[in-house]
Structure 1
Amino acid sequence: MTATAPPTAALDTAVAKAAHRDRNVLRWLGAYTSSMVGDSVYYIALSWAAVQGGSPARAGAVMAVSALPRAVLMLFGGVIADRLGPRVVVIASDAVRCAAALAVAALLFLTSPGLWPLAALALVFGTVDAVFMPAVGALPARITNRDQLARVQGLRGLAIRVAYIIGAPLGGLGTALGGAAAAFGLAGLLIAVSVPLLTSLRFRELPAGDRAVTATPWQDLRAGLAHVRRHRVLAPLMLAIALGDLGFVSPLNVGLTLLADRRGWGAAGVGWVLAGFGAGSGAASLLLTVRGRLPRAGLVAGFAILAGSVAIGALAFVRGLAGAVGVALMIGLFAGLGGAMSSALLQTQADPAYLGRVTAVGSLISLGLTPLSMPFAAAAAGAFGLGPMYVASACVCGLGGVVAFAVPGLRRAELPR
């Protein structure tokens, strides 16, 4: 009788090589990149169709529809990812998003239904994102070994940069040539490319006894939150991520527009500064992709957050556009490095059975809570000036680095070899 290696053993043998040379990881990377490019095209199409179909206020409401279900349901999305497995959830999510985008494209091609199908599409995407994002975060740990997860985070960061660079022009071109219907159709087709790639992945399933699921989703959620709260690395790491993102989001969104207007850089100047940030972030992702592992991961994350906070504060005091682009490049480099190291620590420190729920907590902090700082930042800029607002934001961001240095568990955290 011939012995057959179990799927887990076969996967471990297959991924002994570096992740950026492993076909299994590269198939995942292709699927993720295609899905993210489709997302970028979708947002361009949605914003254009919403503006064309109603007043600015109604268009803004359509654009905001997806935020509420994403924030409210994100934690339960992590529960679903852990219960059903991340691959099933990601494939189903991409299939639903593809079908919804193509359905709206067909509807817009055949008739002019107004804003209601756009609002429905935004609601579907927001709801699906609530389960998609935790599953995407939990998936890498099932397709590669733990010592390759930092490299996978670098690859993921590069995919996000590529999606931003390619997606917006594609969305604009599709809208210009065929209107919103063509752009939605293109978004749906790009998302559809991910489904067969994801289906072909070799995937490590958790043993039934290691799935950490209980009788009800509520109990699963409480168990996941308790896992984060009691963990010597995850708990301070979540606090560091929250503080870093709270201080980072407003200066690079609301603050940058106000700063460009004050300095006379114009809209083109905003684009150049954001390009500098993107280049820095891409360089950090490339570094992790090539190196695969940086020693003293907790200390590196803390240093990167602190250095990025100093660069954020400095941006408000730079007069020339060229200098601002250079400072933005430093912000992107340090913020990208800190974010990638934090994500890699999250991936490697969390119990695989809880990874969907742990990712959901991190995603909720970054996407659900930190944007709430933007109205306060705008009010502070109006009341006290841009300089004090940037300095205050930099101090909040820097506190994330202080947490990384002050908490022994996080400071001594290492990535697996």
Structure 2
Amino acid sequence: MSAVDSKAMAAAVERPAYRDTNVLRWLGAYAASTVGDTIYYLALSWAATRGGSPAQAGVVLAISAVPRALLMLGGGVLADRLGPRRVVIASDAARSVIVLGVAALLLVAAPGLWLLAAVAVVFGVLDALFMPAVGALPPRIAPPGQLARIQGMRGLASRLATVVGRQRTDPSADDRPKATALRDLTGGLTYIRRHRVLAPLLVVIALGDLGFVGPLNVGLALLADDRGWGASGMGWILAGFGIGSGAASLLLAVRGRIARAGLVQGLALVVGAGAIAALAVVPHIVAAAGIAVAIGLFAGLSGAVCSALVQTQTDPAYLGRVTSVSTFFSLGVAPLSFPLTGAAVGLWGTVPVFTASAAVCALGAVYGLCSKGLRGAELP
């Protein structure tokens, strides 16, 4: 059989991700944890804001980033060496046990900042294992042509998930010579540095998340408290953000690919940065929720396309390590800005802080648009 016939046969049997039982099983488990994760992060940020000063709230929310920053790259090596499915199931199961234990403790004691900080540290350790592994899973359950669509479906679920479906064998990972963990790590970093798309893409992800996570986490809680919107107002803004982000993910899930993906992600991030700056100046909760929809739509579209490009541009043998570098900046380094965000809001107010954060996001977008390799990147 010729190579052309083989490719034609492969295309004929390839099913869309939304019709693949393995993908749907994975997505169902992923979505089931969404509600719990959302409630956890919302409760943590609001309790920290109400239980201490802005700077103390920032410290509580940032403290989980310390173990993530220290362990994330090692988590990527572990995912590539042991297999992502094992790591995902073990780390997510451990998180479930911890949440149940904390819930039982809160029945008999008031939540102090020390307890919130302890939970954040433990979750940071587990995130360092979970995030690289979950990012390396899609190529194990679907063909390359469906990876962009899966990233859209994953965005609809929005948070972490437990994977219960089977995996496809990855011969490239199984056949490569075994090396030390340190050599695996340096090999992954060298692979990223030499890649004409991944190298600038990870810079864009790092700057985008650095400017995004501060105002949309501790900054949002402080903004809602300052404007008198309360926890319900914060919830409405988060709901608006979720609607916009869900719409962006739905677009990618339905279409399967976005033409001129590298250019689209940069332009979308520019618009999203402007919306972040606008959020701090609107006086009414309705307008703020509307702007949150725009933030979710454009920043969400940029983030979903970036994730899809990471998935499709990376050799499967390096997915765990490449994902660990991406999440190292997103969940390890960027959250360290929380104390700075809280202290800055306390000194200068929300408008200057949100504006500065928007400028960092815009800087990442401009950097990506100036990179010929990333600007011309396409999804398969």
**Structure-1-length-normalised TM-score:** 0.76
Partner residue in 2 for 1:20? 18
Structure 1 residue 208, shift from structure 2 partner = 5.2
Q: Which runs of 5+ in 1 are unaligned?
A: 1-8, 164-190
Match of 1:203 among 127, 143, 168: 168
Partner residue in 2 for 1:85? 83
Match of 1:313 among 265, 277, 287: 277
Q: Per-residue CA shift, 1:81-139, capped at 9, x if unaligned?
A: 1111212222333344455566x489869x99x99999887665443322211010000
**Of 384-393 and 12-21, the range deviating more from structure 2:** 12-21
Instruction: Report the residue type matching 1:206 in the other structure.
Output: P
Match of 1:339 among 298, 303, 326: 303
Match of 1:380 among 344, 354, 359: 344
Give the root-mean-square deviation of aligned CA atoms. Answer: 3.7
Match of 1:273 among 218, 237, 240: 237
Match of 1:390 among 348, 354, 358: 354
**Of 12-21 and 291-300, the range deviating more from structure 2:** 12-21
Instruction: Report the residue type matching 1:370 in the other structure.
Output: A
Structure 1 residue 18, shift from structure 2 partner = 1.1
Instruction: Report the residue type matching 1:233 in the other structure.
Output: V
Structure 1 residue 389, shift from structure 2 partner = 2.3
Is 1:132 aligned to residue 97 of structure 2? no
Q: Per-residue CA shift, 1:226-261, capped at 9, x if unaligned?
A: 111111111111111111111112222333334334
1:154-193 matches, cutoff 5 A:
154-160=152-158
Match of 2:204 among 240, 262, 268: 240
1:209-220 matches, cutoff 5 A:
211=176, 214-220=178-184
1:15–1:22 CA contact under 8 A, matched in 2: no
1:75–1:360 CA contact under 8 A, matched in 2: yes
- How far apart, CA to CA, are the structure 2 residues paired with 1:338 and 1:21? 25
- How far apart, CA to CA, are the structure 2 residues paired with 1:364 and 1:107? 31
Change over 3 Å in CA distance of 1:27–1:45 after alignment to 2: same
Provide the secondary structure at the position in 1 that maps to 2:328: helix
- How far apart, CA to CA, are the structure 2 residues paired with 1:257 and 1:326? 17
Partner residue in 1 for 2:326? 362
- How far apart, CA to CA, are the structure 1 residues paired with 2:338 and 2:57? 20
Q: Per-residue CA shift, 1:294-315, capped at 9, x if unaligned?
A: 1100001001100101111122
- How far apart, CA to CA, are the structure 1 residues paired with 2:170 and 2:329? 28
Instruction: Report the residue type matching 1:85 in the other structure.
Output: G
Provide the secondary structure at the position in 2 that maps to 1:329: helix
**Of 11-20 and 70-79, the range deviating more from structure 2:** 11-20
May I ask how many residue pairs the two structures share in their alignment?
A: 367
1:210–1:353 CA contact under 8 A, matched in 2: no
2:61–2:338 CA contact under 8 A, matched in 1: no
Instruction: Report the residue type matching 1:310 in the other structure.
Output: G
Q: Per-residue CA shift, 1:347-390, capped at 9, x if unaligned?
A: 11111101000000111101111112233333434444433322
Say which structure, 1 or 2, has more relative contact order (CA 8 Å, 6+ apart): 2
Change over 3 Å in CA distance of 1:12–1:133 after alignment to 2: farther
Identity of aligned residues (%): 61
- How far apart, CA to CA, are the structure 1 residues paired with 2:276 and 2:194? 32
2:61–2:335 CA contact under 8 A, matched in 1: no
Change over 3 Å in CA distance of 1:323–1:119 after alignment to 2: closer
1:281–1:332 CA contact under 8 A, matched in 2: yes
Partner residue in 1 for 2:291? 327
- How far apart, CA to CA, are the structure 1 residues paired with 2:219 and 2:116? 30
- How far apart, CA to CA, are the structure 1 residues paired with 2:155 and 2:195? 26
2:172–2:316 CA contact under 8 A, matched in 1: no
Instruction: Report the residue type matching 1:327 in the other structure.
Output: I
Partner residue in 2 for 1:166? none
Structure 1 residue 321, shift from structure 2 partner = 2.3
Instruction: Report the residue type matching 1:345 in the other structure.
Output: L
Instruction: Report the residue type matching 1:378 in the other structure.
Output: G
Structure 1 residue 292, shift from structure 2 partner = 1.0
Q: Which runs of 5+ in 2 are unaligned?
A: 1-6
- How far apart, CA to CA, are the structure 2 residues paired with 1:341 and 1:316? 26
1:33–1:159 CA contact under 8 A, matched in 2: yes
- How far apart, CA to CA, are the structure 1 residues paired with 2:115 and 2:155? 32
**Structure-2-length-normalised TM-score:** 0.83
Partner residue in 2 for 1:94? 92
- How far apart, CA to CA, are the structure 2 residues paired with 1:149 and 1:370? 26
Provide the secondary structure at the position in 2 that maps to 1:311: helix
Instruction: Report the residue type matching 1:20 in the other structure.
Output: Y
Q: Per-residue CA shift, 1:210-239, capped at 9, x if unaligned?
A: 54x652111111111111111111111111
Provide the secondary structure at the position in 2 that maps to 1:358: helix
